């Protein structure tokens, strides 16, 4: 039994990972569905088998460079342990994926709470990735954890966006600070921080507009917002979460590169992992960007946002192996 299988031999752990198992069904049942069959129907571990494995993980959007490294690691283990039964690869694949993710550094996916007072979290990302929905979900989660939350409608571009946030505010039961459409986002943010501080709110979640203007404008707008947050909270430390839609695959990675160039991204919220067969994108993000994934969206309901957890994620990818 591999290290990872041992870990998931535990009922409690499986229960905790259940959301990932359900949410990642598309990836498991399409991109990775042939994995088990291929291992069962291969008689030896040879180049043909390795190239089939490579193809499967590339299909799942793990990213070519990452897949090459991953397969190479599997090859090494097979060689050093003299493994010749293809079925033994199940455990090796799972354990090596775990190692690939954990190499180098410890990943802190928690919110950086400001111990001195108000914690501010800014949400950025292109159109339709799920910023507003994720704010609603995160507000719900933070409230459930016993903290008070407020939202700021910093997406003043469309009236619809402001209303959407207000609806989330009602559902979650928290106040939403908003001005009319067309107002300066910075002035909404300024007001929201003031009110949140006056009311001794623990966490303020700030929505922003998703249109990806040219890089220079984006940079100027985010600079201005960052300055206001730092000045009004008297703190240099706050989280900026970049929201990426998992269904956009490698395109999401380029968005992350652009945003990283214009502002300091502290974490990624990867949404719609439930809606894609290419859930391997998590590993590509990890390997190519080096920005931690803080949360994943696993559905449209209010409680479908989970802290990113690599063990649960790998269980979501390979739970068929454990059955
Ligand atoms: N299945 C699924 N749908 C999601 C998830 N997160 C967001 N969505 C859906 O994605 C759509 C867009 O979400 P929004 O929150 O409006 O996206 P946005 O980034 O705020 O969009 P703009 O304000 O237009 O920039 C909505 O229909 C959401 O329900 C998720 O994790 N899973
Ligand atoms: Mg929005």
Closest C-alpha among 280, 281, 322, 279 to residue 91: 322
Sequence-distant (6+) residues with CB within 8 A of 264 are 226, 240
Q: What are phi and psi of 179, to 5 degrees?
A: -125, 180
Q: How far is CA 53 from CA 86, 118, 237, 297, in A?
A: 11, 48, 43, 27
pLDDT in tens, 4-45: 888 888 888 889 899 999 999 999 998 898 998 999 999 999
pLDDT of residue 107: 59
**Is the distance from the beta carbon of residue 132 to the nearest atom of ligand 1 less than 6 Å?**
yes
Closest C-alpha among 75, 68, 73 to residue 47: 75
**Alpha helix stretches (DSSP H) within 148-303:** 159-172, 185-198, 215-233, 250-262, 281-289
Mean pLDDT (the chain) is 92
**Is the distance from the beta carbon of residue 303 to the nearest atom of ligand 1 less than 6 Å?**
no
Three-state SS for 8?
coil
Count H helices and E strands in the chain, helices first.
15, 8
- Quickly tell me which residue has 């043909």 as its tokens: 48
pTM of the complete model: 0.93
pLDDT in tens, 99-110: 888 765 555 667
Q: Which ligand is nearest to the CA of 131?
A: 1
pLDDT cut 70: percent of the chain above it: 97
pLDDT of residue 105: 59
DSSP string for 160-189: HHHHHHHHHHHHHT-EEE---TTS-HHHHH
Q: Separation of 154 CA from ligand 2 center, angstroms?
A: 9
CB-facing half-sphere around the CA of 105: CA atoms within 13 A: 8
CA atoms of 304 and 43, how far apart (whole Å): 41
- Given a cut of 50, the residues of the chain with pLDDT beneath it are none
Pocket test for ligand 1, best of 271, 296, 316 (most atoms within 8 A of CB): 271
Q: Do residues 83 and 2 make contact, with C-beta atoms less than 8 angstroms apart? A: no
**Is the distance from the beta carbon of residue 129 to the nearest atom of ligand 1 less than 6 Å?**
yes
CA of residue 168 relative to chain centroid, distance: 20
**Is the distance from the beta carbon of residue 255 to the nearest atom of ligand 1 less than 6 Å?**
no
Atom of ligand 1 nearest to the CA of 207: 20
Pocket test for ligand 1, best of 268, 300, 302, 304 (most atoms within 8 A of CB): 300
Atom of ligand 1 nearest to the CA of 125: 19
CA atoms of 122 and 105, how far apart (whole Å): 25
């Amino acid at each position: 039994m591999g290290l990872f299988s041992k870990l998931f031999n535990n009922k409690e752990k499986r229960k905790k990972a259940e959301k990932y198992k359900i949410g990642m069904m598309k990836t498991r049942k399409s991109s990775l569905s042939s994995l088990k069959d291929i291992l069962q129907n291969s008689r030896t571990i040879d180049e043909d088998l390795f190239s089939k494995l490579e193809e499967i993980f590339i299909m799942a959007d793990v990213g070519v460079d990452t897949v090459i490294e991953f397969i190479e690691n599997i090859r090494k283990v097979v060689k050093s342990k003299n493994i010749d039964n293809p079925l033994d690869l199940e455990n090796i694949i799972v354990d090596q994926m775990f190692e690939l993710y954990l190499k180098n550094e410890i990943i802190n996916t928690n919110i950086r709470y400001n111990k001195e007072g108000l914690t501010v979290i800014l949400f950025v990302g292109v159109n339709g990735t799920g910023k507003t929905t994720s704010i609603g979900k995160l507000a719900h989660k933070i409230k459930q954890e016993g903290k008070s939350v407020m939202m700021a409608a910093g997406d003043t571009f469309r009236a619809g966006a402001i209303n959407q946030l207000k609806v989330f505010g009602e559902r979650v039961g928290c106040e939403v600070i908003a001005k009319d459409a067309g107002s300066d986002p910075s002035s909404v943010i300024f007001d929201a921080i003031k009110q949140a501080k006056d009311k001794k709110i623990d966490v303020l979640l700030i929505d922003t507009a998703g249109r990806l203007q040219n890089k220079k404008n984006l940079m100027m707008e985010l600079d201005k917002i960052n300055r206001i947050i730092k000045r009004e909270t008297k703190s240099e430390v706050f989280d900026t979460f970049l929201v990426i839609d998992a269904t956009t695959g490698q395109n999401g990675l380029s968005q992350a590169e652009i945003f990283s160039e214009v502002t300091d991204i502290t974490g990624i919220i990867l949404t719609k992992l439930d809606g894609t067969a290419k859930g391997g994108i998590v590993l590509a993000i990890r390997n190519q960007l080096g920005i931690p994934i803080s949360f994943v969206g696993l559905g449209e309901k209010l409680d479908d946002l989970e802290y990113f957890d690599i063990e649960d994620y790998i269980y979501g990818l390979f739970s068929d192996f454990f059955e």
